[in-house]
Structure 1
Amino acid sequence: MPTVAPYDIEGHVATAAFLGETAFFAAASGEIHRLEGGAKVTAAHEGLLTCIRDPYSESLLSGGEDGRVLRIAATGDVTELANVPRKWISAVAAGPQGAVGYAVGKSSFVRLADGTVKEFAETRTVEAIAFAPKGLRLAAARYNGVSLHWAGMNAEPMDLEWKGAHTIVTFSPDGRFVVTAMQENALHGWKLDGAKTGAEARHMRMTGYPAKVKSLSWSPKGKWLASSGAPAAIVWPFSAKDGPMGKAPLELGTRADIMTTCVCFHNTDEILAIGFIDGMILGVRIADGKEVLLRRPGKGAITSMGWSGDGRLLAFASEAGDCGIIDIAG
């Protein structure tokens, strides 16, 4: 039976993640909490807006209302990577070769490992950014689509157009697809290696959500894309040549009218952690849909989850600050 070690933080907590075997929690107040032989707190931002785990290093990347982009090491040490006075940094991304992306207003920026910064201007505000898994290619989500920029060369961006506001962007692990969550209750995708004639052939429409999608997670080998925004995790198949085109998604962890707010695939197995608006967390195995209750309902909606390196522990955060660590082996 899974066991839960609770950890309470005051206010909204944006991110829960592991660096090594140490759990980190990034609070909206700007404090970074790490549980290492007791709780240790680092004052990072004057108001934190975004925080992600860098998959290429044992560190976190964060952006704040103070216009700073920071790297937080596993030791809790903080390094400033960018400082844009009087601007909010609400989107950051980690790239290969030590690259870091961040968005400010109508521009996205890529800071290379040597400190060089490249700016890519858009006609509309950049809502989200993501790096491709290979090569220094940055996706910038905005109103009416996504721009793909090559950070290492002076090439024209590739425009992926679709009307509406795009608020999250992600590449599939094999780099063949770009998927966005939209302001309306839908996902949209583009097949990058699709037919070059007739752009319509490259579009993927994933609709029917009763609520806005706020969380996406790829399975370890990229066969599945899980999403929140319904009273179950909606999991789209991406193993076929054309991804989910013409295919129905799986619906995992269905709970009447209680919405999912966060999804997080295990780092090695096709097991999905599903967080709900009432604080409950379920674990579901893709192969047979078997469910395990990982946490009973709590005080607030689950906002973030992250697995430890060995895949045994799951850190979780909520909008009410009731966080913790689940040992799935008990």
Structure 2
Amino acid sequence: MSISASGQALTIAWEFVIDDAPIALSARGDLVAVAGASGTVRVLEAGAEVGALELPGGALSVKLSPDAAHLVVTGPTAYALWRRADGRTAVYETGAWSSTAAWANHERVAVASGRRALVLDADGEELWVTEPAASTVTDLAWMREGRRLAVAAYGAVRCHERHTARPVVTYPYLGSHLALAVAPTDRWICSGNQDASIHIWRARDGEELTMSGYPEKISRLAFDDTGFWLAADGAPDVTVWDFSGKGPAGTAPRSLRCHETITALAWRPGGAGHLASGGDDGTVALWRATAGHPASRLRPVRTLDDETAVAALAWSGPHLLIVSYRDGLVRAYSLPSRNTL
């Protein structure tokens, strides 16, 4: 395996290999969790394994709690929770498609389970559950500091307050939602869709906007920490939309081209506008994604090249970029300065 980088070489802080094809990453505090497609989950601290579990039926997502004390992993037929303090693992074989999960805080987590979202405490005790959506729940996001849950399924994004099975607000859109992103300001709710569009609602009044014309479906959306910038796939270019001021209506995005097929997106923590993207050609690109002007085509500041497709990306704080490759390799790159790529 070879690796090269443009510009000054980055430091590889550590490497780890799992016996599975990585499909998802999560990084919180001093921990990194990697999930493989067959259901292998490994929890790492500084590249050393400190926890492990196997999810029956395979895995789709893995999420560490904000305090890194708990982990939830979801898959096609089951979900599981792991506790750092003693390694306790609770597996729930529901037979329902569990696409993802989202932590409200270190005490509560929402898990997609078929057409419902289950809200659990950190040890897996059910607190409340939403009424069934029209189809399988595809994504989840918390709003209002964990007091409101946005649930995406065919035809709408529905918002539930704590302990309310029925939605208190519904944002309709006739289509299949593949990804959900809520601005950290709670001002905007965005869905990436099967019909190759991004649909946007202004949360306070439901005003809508659709950005269409992408050549491919939108399956990855991510706001930066400021809530002013949204990155999306859906083409060989990563598009970055400006949500500051009145929002993106009537504007053009910045375009970031490096990959033939985008496989991962991750904003660097903080407000510097640094974005990492990964591709099926094994390339990781680092961008100053908010530079230039609307309609600008940007070049990567740095590229990291490997021979195997990038499976997932995650930032462990502002100084450590975690990359998983489909051959099982997990690698941590160290960036010495918050302002350097």
Please give the TM-score of this superposition, normalised by the length of structure 2: 0.83
Which whole-Å deviations, capped at 9, do the CAs of 1:184-237 have from their partners, x for residues lacking one?
22211111123xxxx6xx112122222222222211211101112222221111
Task: Give unmatched runs, 5+ long, in structure 2.
Answer: 1-8, 293-297
Change (3 A) 1:222 1:299: same
Which whole-Å deviations, capped at 9, do the CAs of 1:270-324 have from their partners, x for residues lacking one?
2011111212011111335563324114212x23211122x11100123343331
Question: d(CA) in 1 for partners of 2:165 and 2:237?
Answer: 43
Please name the residue that 1:85 is paired with. 94
Tell me the matched-pair count.
317
Is the 2:130–2:164 contact (alpha carbons within 8 Å) kept by the matching residues of 1? no
Segment drifting more, 222-231 vs 320-329:
320-329
Residue 42 of structure 1 aligns with an amino acid whose one-letter code is A
Please name the residue that 2:319 is paired with. 312
Task: Give unmatched runs, 5+ long, in structure 1.
Answer: none
Question: d(CA) in 1 for partners of 2:68 and 2:15?
Answer: 27
Please name the residue that 1:270 is paired with. 273
Q: 1:43 pairs with 42, 46, 53, which one? A: 53
1:291 match: secondary structure: coil
Q: 1:120 pairs with 118, 127, 130, which one? A: 130
Question: d(CA) in 2 for partners of 1:147 and 1:210?
Answer: 27
Question: d(CA) in 1 for partners of 2:99 and 2:245?
Answer: 34
Q: 2:11 pairs with 3, 8, 31, which one? A: 3
Q: How does 1:1-330 map to 2 (within 5 A)?
A: 1-4=9-12, 5-36=14-45, 39-40=48-49, 42-46=52-56, 47-55=58-66, 57-71=68-82, 73=84, 77-80=87-90, 83-96=92-105, 98-112=107-121, 115-121=125-131, 122-153=133-164, 156-194=167-205, 202-241=207-246, 243-252=247-256, 254-255=257-258, 258-268=260-270, 269-285=272-288, 286-287=290-291, 289=298, 291-300=300-309, 302-309=310-317, 311-329=318-336
Is the 1:19–1:58 contact (alpha carbons within 8 Å) kept by the matching residues of 2? no
CA RMSD of aligned residues (A): 2.7
Question: d(CA) in 2 for partners of 1:267 and 1:129?
Answer: 21
Please give the TM-score of this superposition, normalised by the length of structure 1: 0.85
Residue 43 of structure 1 aligns with an amino acid whose one-letter code is L
Is the 2:159–2:170 contact (alpha carbons within 8 Å) kept by the matching residues of 1? yes
Is the 2:82–2:89 contact (alpha carbons within 8 Å) kept by the matching residues of 1? yes
Give the superposition deviation at 1:259: 2.4
Change (3 A) 1:31 1:78: farther
Change (3 A) 1:206 1:10: farther
Give the superposition deviation at 1:175: 0.7
Is the 2:26–2:62 contact (alpha carbons within 8 Å) kept by the matching residues of 1? no
Q: Percent identity?
A: 26
Question: d(CA) in 2 for partners of 1:212 and 1:64?
Answer: 22
Change (3 A) 1:3 1:235: same
1:134 match: secondary structure: helix
Question: d(CA) in 2 for partners of 1:22 and 1:96?
Answer: 16
Is the 2:127–2:163 contact (alpha carbons within 8 Å) kept by the matching residues of 1? no
Is the 2:129–2:163 contact (alpha carbons within 8 Å) kept by the matching residues of 1? no
Give the superposition deviation at 1:141: 0.9
Residue 254 of structure 2 aligns with an amino acid whose one-letter code is L
